[in-house]
Structure 1
Amino acid sequence: MHIKEKTLCHFGYICDLNIHDLHYSVTGALCQQWSLWMPQSIVAVGGSCLMVPCRFQIPAEFDATLNNCTPHGLWKKHSEWGNIVFHSAQTDAKNIIKGVMLGNLLNKNCTTIFNSFSAGYDDTYIFRLECAETNPLKYNFLPGVNINHTDTPPKPQLIPMGNIMEGEWARLSCSAPAPCPTLPPSLTWTSRLGGSVESRLQEGVDGLMTMTSTLTFTASLGHHGLMVKCAACYTLQPGGTTKTTQGNLTLNVLYAPKNTVALSNPTGPVPEGRAVTLTCQSDANPPVERYSWYKDISGKETWKANGKTLVLLVSKADSGLYLCEAHNQNGSQRSKAMPLEFESDQSFKMAPYIICGVMVLLYVLTVTVDVYKYKSLSRRLKQIELSLSGKADNTYTNLRMASTSSDYDELQMPRAVPGKSNSHENPNGIGRGRERAAP
């Protein structure tokens, strides 16, 4: 049975084989027959050139035939029966897609550069090798390469080259496709990292070119969470316009535990039998993997337990200094010692506060009573003063009235008529004297 089977030979390239065994295992030797190495797909930037990496192999018996002819490279659109859009022996005026056969076909290199690639040409392209018409060497290499067009260049890819450790040298890589190696994109960093930058054009295992820029710097804790940007600027034609895209990366700096602290709830002296919770807190990246608790006994730290929290039912033996230690893959850090105080007699401890409270209450009551007495006495004194003042005024008025009445009575007394007694006359008074004085 004669069948055609397609398989991957090297580095992801597509190999087109003619084999006879349906379940035959493909090996590297078979791939040296009629085979083609090229990327399965390529993205072309509109307005820029496009390089298609291409290499082929032919059976050994055709090597002499190839070397004794003038080989030509052709590209067909869509399928092996499709239209020829490029012929290496023709001028640009006759080719539908302008370009040049960059590789040497005698060396089995069919790499081609197309001057431009527009959206209307997105399709599959098949490479064909042929010699002069009298030469039997003619072959279509399947399945071909998918070429797609984009007006917006792909964003640069930012990746850290290994772990970024605090205090150590770190490297970031910014890479952008260079579909047109004659006009590769320029890469620009935007960051506050300082350091040094190195750029170069690299060929990948698939033959595609990539522009790569490496930023080397010393990582610090302040860089953690910092956003770094890298912009790729594509020049479409020499002296022409440009297109720019940008990629971002948020730094993840690894560091050992920091700011480790031990906390107690409740705080202060703890009565016997009451539960107290000790909690360890720490900042680390990656997060803390393990917490350990220690008790300081006479200057010697003794392990107590593992865990973020430590719960104790307090007794006199539990009093002392406690500290915790946080661990992650980058290191560890211990907290400062925290005292845990034991309270043996709660009532005894509270006695000074109770006495103080009673004294304050008595003082407040005493002041309140004194103020009340003072106000009451002031009101009484004021009433007495008002009363005395009123009596004095009445006495003075009565005295004046009495004096005036007496004088008036004395001045208005009627004179006695001779020979007639006055019934109102005092026999011992003035009338009697006058009677004796009459002739």
Structure 2
Amino acid sequence: MTDCTAGALEMSVFPFMVFLFFTNELVLVSSETAELPSRITALSGSCVQIPCTFEVPEDVLKNAERIFGFWIKNYPFPQPWVVYNGSTNISKGFSRIEITGNLSQRECTTVFYDVMNNHSDNYYFRVEIKSPDWKYTYMNPIKISVSDSPQPLIFKPTDLKAVMENTTVSLSCSAEAPCPKQPPTISWSNIPESAHITTQLQEKPDKTQSVFSHMTFKASYMDHRKNISCTATYPRKTSKNSTVETTVMLQVLFPPKETNITINQSTSVSVGTNVTLTCKSKANPSNNMTFSWHKHGQDNQLDLGEQLIFTVNRSSGGWYFCKAKNEHGIQMSKEIQLIMEGSVSSLDQSLIIGCVVGVSAILLTFFLITLFLRVQRVKASTIMETDVSDQGQEKQMQTIYANGGFVSGEELEMPKDENDIVHYGEIDFSTPQTKITTVQGSGQETVYAEVRGPGKEMNQD
């Protein structure tokens, strides 16, 4: 039994002596303190970690053989109760208590598991050292408050002002982590597309911990009036609510976007028809946004205002557009075409002209190709006829020379038969013509050629 427990038992019998005992102990340890938070809020069905360090004389700690830690509830009044005895490692009133700190290094961090609502109270830390015997109860307690609901999230900035489009926005969300062994998880919902998120467990100045989540993104007009939520979910052993959430609405300033025109009827109208064109656009701020109307091909604007209302006449056909403007910029809508019934639109005219030009180009190309092929065939035929003529003349000249009987250094062979009659021809080279003589004889037809040359004659013997 520890001194503290003995003192508790003696209190009912010898209250005055017990008071003196605790008073004497307080005097002894008045210069020594334990460093721990003054209060901490735990979640029922979960655990709670108490960060703790303590002071002890150096010579006592240096010579210590064994060190034990204790946690005492309601010390010194009205009745002290040892909820954890380090010498026997016994917990009372709790499923389990564990000192995770290294007592020889003056660390007394402790985890209380499965805390319930009846565990809310003040708790004191006590240390006992053997050889030499030294006992201290530190008189600065920690107040543990147990709640059925998680603590509210801390969202920053607390006052989220409107931000300009394309600027970087930073949001942070932190949740208390009274039980770092089972920390809450943080999730974001409805986040912007460009968001980057980092989450980590952080230690606060009082040594307690929290889960801190940081999100950055570039503001877009599509994020305007978006409700961004941060949710913390706590693991626990009860069926009660274990989540806590906070939501902030994002305000983004931007120039006109998605500007377009709507018409109250078909774009094909007839003379005398009433037409209403409406200009729609997104912008922030939008209460001071202005609209102007224009027609393609006209320098002057048609009108001001969100709507353009007019009665159609013969000159009303054409392309219309509007411009939306606020303090941050201006945007022009896409053009909308108003077509007069019975008339051909400029687009149809363009299509017709394009088709005619395309067909004409194809026909012209076909004609040029045909003409080219025909010219090539005529040239090829002319060249062929020339080659045939040249070949005929060459062949004819070969025949003439063969019948001319030019002999050099050889005698003419006499006919072997007397019936064979030899006829001689004469060749005149003085004129560019050749005389051909045909002689009939002995049933055979012999052709002779006469060639005459200048200053030279060949006489028949």
Aligning the two structures, in what range does the TM-score lie when normalised by the shorter sequence? Answer: 0.3 to 0.5
Give the TM-score taking structure 1 as reference length.
0.47
Give the TM-score taking structure 2 as reference length.
0.45
